[in-house]
Structure 1
Amino acid sequence: MNNWQELTITINREAEEAASNILVESGSQGVAIDDSADYLDGVGKYGELFPEVEQVETVKITAYYPEMLDMEAIKKEVQERLAELADFGLTTGQVKLETQELAEEDWAENWKKYYEPARITHDLTIVPSWTDYEAAGGEKIIRLDPGMAFGTGTHPTTKMSLFALEQILRGGETVLDVGTGSGVLSIASSLLGAKEIFAYDLDDVAVRVAQENIDLNQGTANIHVAAGDLLRHVDIHAEVIVANILADILVNLTDDAYRLLKDDGYLIMSGIISEKLDMVLEAAYSAGFFLETHMIQGEWNALVFKKTDDISGIMGG
C-alpha cells in the first residue's frame, strides 16, 4: 500500500466525539483532532506550554483510509450520519468536508504531528506505541496506538478524567469504565493501582480497539472489556465509575451508577459541554449523588460525585 486517503471534517466542538466515532465506523484507520481549546492562554491545565492559538468553536477531525476504499461512498455515508446528529441534540454548526490523497510517508508524518509523548497529569504520560520513550522517576506510561483511532488521549475531557482518577485511586479498587473508547481510562486505572477494571462500550469497534490498546501495556490483565449499553444489565459493584461520553448519554446512567457504587464510592463524568452542565448535574442529584469536584477546561466540564449519606463531609463541615 503506497497511498492513503484523507478526509477532514470541520464541525462544532460539541459534536467532536460523535463525529470521530462515525469516521472510525466508516473504515478510518485513525483520527487526529485539532482543537483550539487544547491551547488555552498558552498554558494547559496541567502545565503544558503552548503557542498562542486563536480560539474558535469548531474542531478539525482528520481521518485516514486505505487507498482501495471508495472515498466518494464513504464521504456520502459520513455526511448522512453527521446530519443525523441533530436528532441527539448535538450542535454541528456548518459542517465542512475535505478530501485529499496522501503518500504513505506523508500519512506517517501527519500522525507524528498530532501524536507525541504527552505528560497528562503528575504521574501519567501517554506515549505512542512506536516510540522508545523511557519513564522517569515515578512516571507511569500509557502506550496507545495512533492507528487505532479515537484520538490521542489528550483531549480536555480525557485529561480531566485522568486527573480525577489520579486523585481518587489509592489501590485495590474495582473500577467500571463506561464508553471506554480507546481504553485509556482503564489502562490508567490499572497503572494507578485498581484491582479490577470492567470496561464497556456499545460499539464493537471500540471494544476491539480498547483491547488492542490494553494489550500494548504490561500488567493490564486485570482489565476486562465487553460490549455493553452503558451500565444496563451490569451487576458488578465498584468503588469508582468513570464515564467520558456525551452529556445526553451521561444522564441515562446516573441511576445505574448509584445502584452499582459502593458507599462512599465516586462517579467521574466528563465530556460535558458547558451549556449541558445543568442537565447532567440535575440527573446526578436526582439519583442521590453529591458533587465533590468540578473541573473546567475551555468549554468542557468534568464532575466528580460521591455516593454518601454524610452531607457535612462533602460540604466541608
Structure 2
Amino acid sequence: MKENTEVAKEFKDAFEALCKEIGKVIVGHDEIVENVLICLFAGGNVLLEGVPGLGKTMLVRTLSEVLDLPFSRIQFTPDLMPADIVGTNLITEDRQFKFQPGPIFSNIVLADEINRATPKTQSALLECMQEKSVTVGGTIHQLDRPFFVLGTQNPLEMEGTYPLPEAQLDRFLFKLLVSFPSREDLNEILLRTTEKVEVTPQKIAKQEDIKKWMDVVRDVYVAPHVRDYASRLLLATHPGSTYASEKTNRFVRFGSSPRGGQALIRSAKIKALIQGRYNASFDDVAQSAIPALRHRMILNFEGEAERISTDTIVEDILEHVKRDEGSSKK
C-alpha cells in the first residue's frame, strides 16, 4: 500500500490542478473555489450567498465541466412543485406506471435562488441532500454518488422570498459569501466577457476519481485533542455553556447542532490533505470555523437589533477557546 504521505501529496496535486483549471474561468474567487471543492470532497453541500452577476452559476457550470460530471440547474420560483425537482410517476400507453426522474438525478445540482421557492419545495430538495435518495409512490430511488448540491440566494431582494429555516440551513456543510470583485479582477472579467478571449476548461477528473478521493478523506487521522478542540468550538456557540464567549452569551439565542462539529472535522481533514499532511491540526479546524458555523447560530433580539454578524461571533469564539487540552477560560 502507498504511504500516507504519498497519498496526501497525490490529493494535494489533484486539488491544486482542479483549482487552477477552474481559475481559468472564474476570476477573483480563489477562496470560494477552494471551499466549494472542500465541500465536494467532504460529501457535503454548499450555500452561496451573493448579489446577482458575481459568477455563482458560472462557477457551478465550470465545476461540472472540469470534473466531467453530469450537471443540472433548477431555477427556483414560487410556483415550482416538489415533483418538478424529484420527478413523478407517469402512465405509459400500456397503462403502466413509469418513473420519470427529475433534474435532481444528477451528480452536481445547482439550486438557483433557492429562497424563492415555497418551503414545501425547498424541503423536497433538502430531503434529497440529507438522505441521498428520493421516494416517489412508495419506491425509493437512490441518487448517484457523488451527489453535490450548490444552492444560491440573493441577500438583497427579499420580497416574495421564503428564507430557509435554520433547520434546513443546517443541511449545508458551508455557507459561503461571494464578495464583489476588486478593481483588477473586474477589469479581467470585463476583458474576458467583452473581447474575443475564449477560455475552455479541460476535464481533468472523472466520477471514479472523486469517489476515490472522498474515501481517502475519511481515512485522514484526527487526534483526540484536535477532535476535542472542535467539540469545544461547537459548545462555545451555545449561550450559557462553560466554553461560551462573552459575545455568544450576549447575542446568541441558539448555537450550532452537532452537524457543525461534523463540518469542522470533515473540512479539517481536507485542509490537511491540501497541505500534504495525513493528520488534521488545530489550524485546519480553526480555518473552517467561519464557513461551517456562520449559518448555524440564531441571534437573539439584541443581536438582531445590533446587527451583529455571526462571523464576528465565531471570530470571538476562536480567540476565546484555547487550543490545548485544557478548557477555555471561564
Tell me which interval the TM-score lies in, with the shorter structure as reference length. Answer: under 0.3
Bigger CA radius of gyration: 2
Q: State the TM-score, normalizing by the size of structure 2.
A: 0.26
Richer in helix (by share):
2
